[in-house]
Amino acid sequence: MDTKTRYEKLVRELNFHLHRYHVLDAPLISDAEYDNLYNELKRIEAAHPDWVTPDSPSQRAGAKAADRFAKTRHPAPILSLANAFGADDTRAWFERIRKLDARVEQAQFVVEPKIDGLSVVLHYREGVFTQGATRGDGEIGEDITINLRTVRSIPLKIPVNRKQSSAIRVPDYLVVRGEVFIPIKEFEALNQRLAEAGEKTYLNPRNTAAGSLRQLDPALTAARPITLLVYQIVHAEGGGIPTSQWKILEYLRALGFPVTDAAQRFDNLEDAIAYTETWDTRRDQLSYEVDGMVVKLDDLDLAAELGFVGKDPRGAIAFKFPAREVTTTLEGVGVAVGRTGVLTPYAILKAVEIGGVIVERATLHNFDYIAEKDIRVGDRVLVKRAGEVIPYIIGPVVGARSGKEKAYKPPTTCPACNQPVEHFEGEVAWYCVNAACPAQLARNIEHFVSRGAMDIVGMGTKIVEKLIEAGRIGDAADVFTLTREDILESVTKKDRKVEKEPPGKIAENLLAAIEASRMRPLNRLIAALGIRGVGETLAGDLARSFPDLGVLAKASAEDLQQIEGIGPNIAEGIVDWFGREANRTVLAKLKRAGVWPKTPKAEGAKPGGAFGGLTFVVTGTLPTFSRDDAKDFIESNGGKVTDSVSRKTSYLVLGENPGSKLDKAKSLGVKIIGEEELMRLAG
Ligand code: IVH
């Protein structure tokens, strides 16, 4: 294959895998495999800059920043929606349009989530993403193409998968509309990262998404977990498109756009209303925030004929859910101590129900926020709860003040250890810098035993705090010296009620979980240490580059910066962590306790490990390894793990209740092994 053909193939393949990963949530290759292909693409592009196509994945990030965004006229008005508050309002809408056109009587309806995000308009010429804009005033928006290119669920070329959608002819010029947003979980994780780093947290997913798309450095947008769902075709030239909303959704999905799977079509309005109402209480099940459902006439020709009132089309209505905002009294301000010592204020509220949940605590973000909003103890405050996001205080109801409210003063000492708190230049946070602070230790241990780290099931907050109080845990390594007696003493009545098990059984299970965790591979242990800036991904990179913690501890900042993704700040952070006396003690204790995993070869994932050049597929439940463990184990031995069996698969690792992968492996003559043999192969 000549280089040009190879390059074109890479662009197609990488876009296909991006779609599998970001839109379908069903990747076919590992991240490492993806990175290999991507690096190859980058090498070719460096040698042949004139070949770079606009749909190349490399064009998603790093494009040049502009001073401000150019204005762009939309090919058709980007309309808004009229609101209905409840079923009767929705019936009244139906009556209004039925009087205008009798066909409405027989109409079908499509109900879709009304995503609380930011409307964007995406242009595709000859199937290639050429422009993306904000809604603006509905006529003219801002050209934010460079930022939208970094949103990985936006296809750069459609159809994404030609084979599957070969019957689809894409119009020469297609303009679609969708909503961009940050999923709730990602938002929480982002805020947690920011809080731990002492930076300002964001108020809500919507503002964060909007702000990220309208800032001028695309690298910043790329770093935000933004995604989108598409629901409308605004304009099409040179090709037909469906004339029913339901078919539009199917069509957009087939082209490779992310489309909601919570939409449904109904033969009559009452069924549509009933479905809409079920989502009011179920909205927490969605991964994003919604403020209602949109009820649309399925027949788009009929909808168009009905016209609009102002900017609202008559053919659709937004059925708004009751806002999850209430007012209540701020009874006090508590202060939580995080893993890195960051102090975070939270609101202690007079208990209040918001959308079926009793709320007594809400975040206040940081001390500056309290001052900026002039939030006083005793104030009536407006509280918002959205999805699973921790409720937050929007602000005080100033008009409701009696004069008895008290301004809040941030603490000068740590609420857990009473040591003076400190503030660092350039950060908003206040820190407790006492390395022996029990609250910090508790958060550290919680992190150490958490799922992505040592994964010690059963070691909950209560037990951890008790063990610290009893002096049985002074650092993470002490987890491995716990005895049955230690645990029995720390199991509280409350734990027992939750667990519904005798304390002896709880202790046994916990000891077994601790024992099992000794086998975690190096990357998990590195992630567990809680080094600032070192998450799961970076821990994996470090584990591949260093054979064990002893060698990593000796690495200089320069050594560390050889690894892609590690800049001077993180490198310094790592060196600093390993330089601290207390941490060196933890390492020595871990080594003595035999918790000292090794990467077989410094080269790790590159060919050369025991599994170098080999590809594995895992199916069924393995006796001791979880799916993640098995993957970590194989990768830390230099092997690759993929999701589907092919001729290239070296081994199928077989567990109980295997899926169809077993049949496929048999039919292709792929070698089949169990967990034990896997470990033997690794030596
Ligand atoms: S349809 C003619 N569908 O809600 C098309 N809008 O309050 C009119 N929105 O400006 C829009 N999810 O930004 C439509 N499934 C959905 C939506 C949706 C969110 C937003 C959209 C619109 C706003 C109106």
For a mutational test of ligand 1's pocket, the pick from 93, 288, 294, 308, i.e. the residue with the most ligand atoms closer than 8 A to its C-beta, is 294
Specify whether the backbone of 129 is left (phi greater than 0), alpha (psi in -120 to 50) or beta.
Answer: beta
- CA-CA-CA-CA torsion sign (226, 227, 229, 232): positive
Whole-number pLDDT of residue 199: 79
pLDDT in tens, 231-246: 999 999 998 899 999 9
- More confident position, 642 or 73: 73
Whole-number pLDDT of residue 604: 40
C-beta 232 within 6 A of ligand 1:
yes
pLDDT in tens, 514-546: 999 998 999 999 999 988 888 888 898 899 889
Atom 13 (ligand 1) nearest CA: 119
Please say if the pLDDT value at position 603 is more than 50. Answer: no
Distance 166 CA to ligand 1 centre (A): 30
Distance 85 CA to ligand 1 centre (A): 16
Atom 4 (ligand 1) nearest CA: 114
Whole-number pLDDT of residue 389: 67
pLDDT bracket for residue 506 (50, 70, 90):
confident
Distance 438 CA to ligand 1 centre (A): 49
C-beta 294 within 6 A of ligand 1:
yes
Atom 21 (ligand 1) nearest CA: 119
State how far the Cα of 229 lies from the Cα of 647, in Å rounded to an integer. 36
For a mutational test of ligand 1's pocket, the pick from 74, 79, 81, i.e. the residue with the most ligand atoms closer than 8 A to its C-beta, is 81
pLDDT in tens, 333-365: 999 999 889 999 999 999 998 877 889 999 998
What are the start-end ranges of the H helices in 503-597?
A: 503-517, 522-528, 536-545, 549-554, 557-561, 568-579, 581-592
Beta bridge partners of 113: 293
Please say if the pLDDT value at position 25 is more than 60. Answer: no
Catalytic annotation, pick one of 4, 114, 320, 591: 114
Least Cα distance to 115 among 289, 317, 316 occurs for: 289
Of the listed ranges 247-261, 375-389, 487-501, the least confidently predicted one is 487-501
User: What are the residues whose beta carbons fall under 8 Å from the beta carbon of 363, sequence distance 6 or more?
Assistant: 201, 344, 346, 347, 390, 391, 392, 393
pLDDT in tens, 39-62: 899 899 999 999 998 888 888 754
Please say if the pLDDT value at position 440 is more than 60. Answer: yes
pLDDT in tens, 607-643: 457 887 788 999 888 888 887 788 888 887 878 888 8
Whole-number pLDDT of residue 67: 46
Atom 9 (ligand 1) nearest CA: 114
| Domains in the chain with CATH codes | 3-60 (1.10.287.610), 83-320 (3.30.470.30), 325-407 (2.40.50.140), 438-517 (1.10.150.20), 522-592 (1.10.150.20), 615-681 (3.40.50.10190)
Q: What is the mean pLDDT of residues 66-71?
A: 68
Whole-number pLDDT of residue 424: 79
Distance 119 CA to ligand 1 centre (A): 7
State how far the Cα of 226 lies from the Cα of 182, in Å rounded to an integer. 5
For a mutational test of ligand 1's pocket, the pick from 110, 112, 179, i.e. the residue with the most ligand atoms closer than 8 A to its C-beta, is 179
Please say if the pLDDT value at position 644 is more than 70. Answer: yes
Please say if the pLDDT value at position 601 is more than 80. Answer: no
- Please state, rounded to an integer, the average pLDDT across all residues of the chain: 88
Distance 263 CA to ligand 1 centre (A): 13
Of the listed ranges 83-97, 469-483, 569-583, 631-645, the least confidently predicted one is 631-645
C-beta 318 within 6 A of ligand 1:
yes
- More confident position, 502 or 5: 5
What percent of the chain lies above the pLDDT cut of 90? Answer: 55
Ligand 1, residue 315: give the atom nearest the CA: 2
Report how far apart, in Å, the C-alpha atoms of 432 and of each of 55, 334, 439, 521, 525 are: 48, 15, 10, 32, 25
Whole-number pLDDT of residue 434: 86
Q: What is the mean pLDDT of residues 71-78?
A: 94
In the residue annotation, 157 being an active-site residue is answered as no
pLDDT bracket for residue 435 (50, 70, 90):
confident
pLDDT in tens, 114-166: 999 999 999 999 999 999 999 988 999 999 999 999 999 999 999 877 665 56
pLDDT bracket for residue 423 (50, 70, 90):
confident
- More confident position, 373 or 502: 373
pLDDT bracket for residue 64 (50, 70, 90):
very low
C-beta 114 within 6 A of ligand 1:
yes
Of the listed ranges 169-178, 566-575, 605-614, the least confidently predicted one is 605-614
Whole-number pLDDT of residue 68: 66
CB 675 within 8 A of CB 622: yes
Whole-number pLDDT of residue 22: 67
Whole-number pLDDT of residue 276: 96
**Across the beta sheet with 651-654, what order do the strands follow?**
640-641, 615-619, 651-654, 671-673
Q: What is the mean pLDDT of residues 324-339?
A: 93
Reported in sequence order, the residue ranges of 33-117 that DSSP labels E, i.e. its strands, are 71-73, 83-84, 109-115
CB 176 within 8 A of CB 233: yes
- More confident position, 545 or 491: 545
Please say if the pLDDT value at position 510 is more than 50. Answer: yes
pLDDT in tens, 662-680: 888 888 888 999 988 888 8
Reported pTM: 0.63
Whole-number pLDDT of residue 414: 95
Ligand 1, residue 114: give the atom nearest the CA: 12
Structure tokens at 48: 């042949």
Whole-number pLDDT of residue 602: 38
User: What are the residues whose beta carbons fall under 8 Å from the beta carbon of 5, sequence distance 6 or more?
Assistant: none
State how far the Cα of 618 lies from the Cα of 289, in Å rounded to an integer. 35
Distance 116 CA to ligand 1 centre (A): 9
